Amino acid sequence: MPLKSGKSRETIGQNVKKLVHEYEGEGHIGASHPASKKKAVKQAVAISLKKAGVSRQQKNHTAK
């Protein structure tokens, strides 16, 4: 499933949720196989922020 594009917190959160759900069901995110759910969540956040074109430092300032 393709991720949604957009910079809002809601869109980024939905993308993270979708990627974590994929990890729980299939055991991988894309071509990667994170060792634990914690690492999968971190990776999902990174992928979602990359898709939105937002850095980790900017993520708190996107939707105020």
In sequence order, the β-bridge partners of residue 29 are 32
| CB-CB contact of 37 with 23 (8 Å) | yes
Asked if residue 14 belongs to a domain, the reply is: yes
Asked if residue 28 belongs to a domain, the reply is: yes
Number of folded domains that form the chain: 1
Asked if residue 1 belongs to a domain, the reply is: no
Asked if residue 2 belongs to a domain, the reply is: no
How do residues 2-52 score in pLDDT, each as one tens digit?
A: 899 999 999 999 999 999 999 999 999 989 999 999 999 999 999 999 999
| CB-CB contact of 52 with 3 (8 Å) | no
Position 59 scores a pLDDT of: 61
Q: Which domain range does residue 46 map to? A: 9-61
